[in-house]
Amino acid sequence: MTDHRRITPVILSGGSGTRLWPVSRTGRPKQLLSLTHAETMLQLTLGRTAGTERFAAPIIVANTAHADEIEAQVSAIGVGSHLLILEPAARNTAPAIALAAYAAEPEAILLVMPSDHVIADAPAFHAAIDRATGVVEAGWLSTFGIAAVAPEIGYGYIRRGEEIAPGVQRVEQFVEKPDIVTAQTYLDEGCYSWNGGIFLFTAASYIAALEAVAPAMASAAKEAMDKAVRTGSRILPDTMAFGRSPSDSIDYAVMEKAERVAVVPVEMGWSDVGSWDALYELAIKDNHGNSHHGEVLAIDTARCLIRSEGPLVTAIGVSDLIVIATHDAVLIMPRNESQNVKRIVDSLKRDHHVTLDRHVGSSS
Amino acid sequence: MTDHRRITPVILSGGSGTRLWPVSRTGRPKQLLSLTHAETMLQLTLGRTAGTERFAAPIIVANTAHADEIEAQVSAIGVGSHLLILEPAARNTAPAIALAAYAAEPEAILLVMPSDHVIADAPAFHAAIDRATGVVEAGWLSTFGIAAVAPEIGYGYIRRGEEIAPGVQRVEQFVEKPDIVTAQTYLDEGCYSWNGGIFLFTAASYIAALEAVAPAMASAAKEAMDKAVRTGSRILPDTMAFGRSPSDSIDYAVMEKAERVAVVPVEMGWSDVGSWDALYELAIKDNHGNSHHGEVLAIDTARCLIRSEGPLVTAIGVSDLIVIATHDAVLIMPRNESQNVKRIVDSLKRDHHVTLDRHVGSSS
């Protein structure tokens, strides 16, 4: 390993997905939950780059509503110094990362990570970071290409091109979430990786790319940070300025348009834990394929995921079911159909069947 | 209809079954719940003999712990005068009925009914009562023989003998709950009815039979009533005296041993609502065979019974399931297996997995 600059983790905690409803809500998004371990997804993400000289203090970009909870979680795992940038409005990932880039020194290397993914093999992740660092220091924007192991239709794909450094390839093309037939051809061709939304670049490279391809976004983020108020570890970017930023993802706004974009293929036990089925796959199971969590009494069950955060959940004689219970809502569906949670949440929102704040959460 | 004496309903509310767990608990037994209608099972039972000159004020025999709730339910449906006999101890049905018999005039005709059964066709029930009244006035103990429509193994059966009055037959034999093969032969033979636990006799006939076949029970109940304390409509039999009574059911202690026992066959839409499956059978269903009750959102479900008394219950893509939710417990099982509730409840009690008072209820 060459003597590289320290890397600043930039952790994006802005999401408020409902794919893990009823446990995840707007006010209690996935990254703040304990799903795979006693630690929350955010804490696991922080832990992945903590305790080594290789990484500097992290920058967390988050929704203002979650500030107290985030600081409590950060402090609970003993991560001392950090910056918490509180987005005045939701503008998707490209502007959020811009805030972090303007907060950092220009030459800082930023490791941008979602706050709610699983990476089982941290050493493999660190090795991939090491592989990318050289080209990143040379000005490239790098992404990590997750080894595709199934014809997934829920992810974007990256077509890998020529090798530009050992274990680093030029991105030939970012492609949208495919249909199942296309996904299978990507898998068969062998030169596609999943886009896991993890990036490595210097602050200066990102800002330069943003200024080139999305100047309105760059100037809004810059002004918001120039006028930001800092209180302790919290940074509050200017609301008016940031509000003027267009809203877009880093993939669409920057990566697909920038010159010199690299991908580092990596196999690291990655999962976005994007559904209850995904959590079932990750979970430790008993001899009958059951994963139960919380106050659960299951008799003669097979291949079930049963989680309770509140009531006693009893099940007898059922198989291949997902049952998720909280103090105010219970979800029951077959395994391998957990994408349908979206239909439940949409229906609740549409029909105002229940108080959204209570059962789903409302967008802020 | 001949000019018969008025009939005193005797409603037995002592049960504390858990076959409808988690909704029914020791402290909130089935008869006090609204299961098939807005009215509770007790209220429906009272309503079956209310508002007609044919019936006198009812006598309710109940557990002391339920006294206030019972009086609230009685009053809510406008049943005015009644007697509430509060059992000092649980001694099964024969002594409980004896308390009511001693509270009544000897010549009173008592219509003894469980408080938690469904009788959909009240006119058919009333007609059966009319058919029985003659032999009852002549000193017979009469039971009602529910038309057997399936080889049920959960009920006792009555083998009907010679006709002793129009629509009234001598009981040839009471038989225990059969196995499925025996139940099928009973059904095929056509001379068996289900024993629904509904009886008609004069107070004097019952007491005479009890004195003949179970004298210790008769004397304990008599002494308990001689020393009873009456407060308003409540009668508190003497605890010491009643405590000395043997414990037994009217079937075993009296009906199987007494002379001159009659059965009135009747088809009246009877159900003991003895399981969640039984409730499903009784319920009004949508076009997909679903019966949902409470705050339930079901999408693409078929032939499901889903009831919530607390949390929002959402189900998508499941079929032939029973889901019962209360504020502190959720039960999930396939349809047609609801006898397994007993295994759940036994497991909870045995393993002290949870606080029994909270989740199951403890015997008093």
pLDDT at site A3: 52
**Which of B311, B341, B353 shows the shortest C-beta gap to A329?**
B311
CA B270 to chain A, closest CA, distance in angstroms equals 28
Q: Tell me the C-alpha distance between B81 and B56, whole Å.
A: 9
Q: Provide the pLDDT confidence category of residue B4 given band limits of 50, 70 and 90.
A: low
Residues of B in contact with A344 (CB under 8 A): 297, 299, 314, 316
> Quick check: A312 and B344 CB within 8 A?
no
Which residue of chain A is at minimal alpha-carbon distance from B359? A312
Mind telling me how many Å the CA of B178 is from chain A's nearest CA? Answer: 25
Mean pLDDT, chain B, rounded, equals: 93
User: What pLDDT score does A55 carry?
Assistant: 95
Q: Do A299 and B348 touch (CB under 8 A)?
A: no
CA distance A184 to chain B (A): 27
Give the Cα separation of B95 and B339 in Å (integer).
Answer: 29
Given B325, B343, B354, which is nearest A330 (Cβ)?
B325
Q: Does the beta-carbon distance from B314 to A354 stay under 8 Å?
A: no
| pLDDT (0 to 100) of residue A353 | 54
Provide, as residue numbers in chain A, all residues whose Cβ is less than 8 Å from the Cβ of B330.
308, 311-314, 323, 325, 330
What is the band of B359 on the pLDDT scale with cuts at 50, 70, 90? Answer: low
B186 pLDDT higher than 50: yes
Q: Please state the separation of Cα B288 from the chain's center in Å.
A: 31
Q: How far apart are CA B270 and CA B118, in angstroms?
A: 5
Q: What is the DSSP string of A263-278?
A: EEEE-S-EE---SHHH
- Running DSSP on this structure, what letter comes out for residue B252? I
Give pLDDT, residue B363.
Answer: 38
Q: Do A311 and B311 touch (CB under 8 A)?
A: yes
Which of chain B's residues have a Cβ under 8 Å away from the Cβ of A330? Answer: 308, 311-314, 323, 325, 330
The answer to whether A245 and A224 are in contact (CB under 8 A) is yes
| Contact call for B340 and A299, based on CB within 8 A | yes
CB spacing of A299 vs B347 below 8 angstroms: yes
A89 within 8 A of A41, measured Cβ to Cβ: no
Q: Tell me the average pLDDT across B23-36.
A: 90
pLDDT in tens, B120-174: 999 999 999 999 999 999 999 999 999 999 999 989 999 999 999 999 999 999 9
Tens of pLDDT along B190-226? Answer: 999 999 999 999 999 999 999 999 999 999 999 999 9
Size of interface A-B (CB pairs under 8 A): 116
Contact B315 A325 (CB under 8 A): no
pLDDT of residue A302: 98
Residue B25 — pLDDT band, cuts 50, 70, 90?
confident
Q: Please, how many CA atoms are within 13 Å of residue B21, restricted to the half-sphere of its CB?
A: 31
Pairwise CB contact (< 8 Å): B311 & A330: yes
Question: Over pLDDT 70: what percentage of chain B?
Answer: 95
Our CA-based measurement puts residue B288 at a distance from the nearest CA of chain A, in whole angstroms, of 17
Label residue B321 by pLDDT band (50, 70, 90): very high
ipTM: 0.87
Contacts of A354 in chain B (CB under 8 A): 295, 312
Judging contacts by C-beta atoms under 8 Å, the chain B residues touching residue A334 are: 317-318
Tell me whether the omega of the peptide bond preceding residue A22 falls within 30 degrees of 0, making it cis: yes
Residue A231: name the closest of A71, A338, A97, A349 by CA: A71
Tell me the pTM. 0.88
Interface contact flag, B331 A317, Cβ < 8 Å = no
pLDDT tens, N- to C-terminus, chain A (364 residues): 445 679 999 999 987 778 999 999 888 899 999 999 999 999 999 999 998 889 999 999 999 999 999 999 999 998 879 999 999 999 999 999 999 999 999 999 999 999 999 999 999 999 999 999 999 999 999 999 999 999 999 899 999 999 999 999 999 999 999 999 999 999 999 999 999 999 999 999 999 999 999 999 999 999 999 999 999 999 999 999 999 999 999 999 999 999 999 999 999 999 999 999 999 999 999 999 999 999 999 999 999 999 999 999 999 999 999 999 999 999 999 999 998 999 999 998 887 555 444 555 543 3
* A359 contacts B312? CB cut-off 8 A: yes
Inter-chain residue contact A340 with B359, CB threshold 8 Å: no
**Residue A33 is encoded by which pair of tokens?**
């939950």
Residue B352: how many other CB atoms lie within 10 Å: 8
Residue of A nearest to B315 (CA): A332
> pLDDT tens-digit profile of B73-113?
999 998 879 999 999 999 999 999 999 999 999 999 999 99
List residues of chain A with CB under 8 Å from any CB of chain B: 22, 295, 297, 299, 308, 310-318, 321, 323, 325-334, 337, 340-341, 343-344, 347-348, 353-354, 359
Question: For B299, which of A314, A330, A347 is closest by C-beta distance?
Answer: A347
Q: Is the pLDDT of residue B269 over 80?
A: yes
CA distance, residue B335 to nearest chain A CA (Å): 10
B204 membership: H or E segment, kind and range: helix B203-213
3-state SS, A78-144, equals: CCCCCEEEEECCCCCHHHHHHHHHHHCCCCCEEEEEECCCEECCHHHHHHHHHHHHHHHHCCCEEEE
Q: What residues does A192 pair with on adjacent strands?
A: A159
- B2 has pLDDT over 80: no
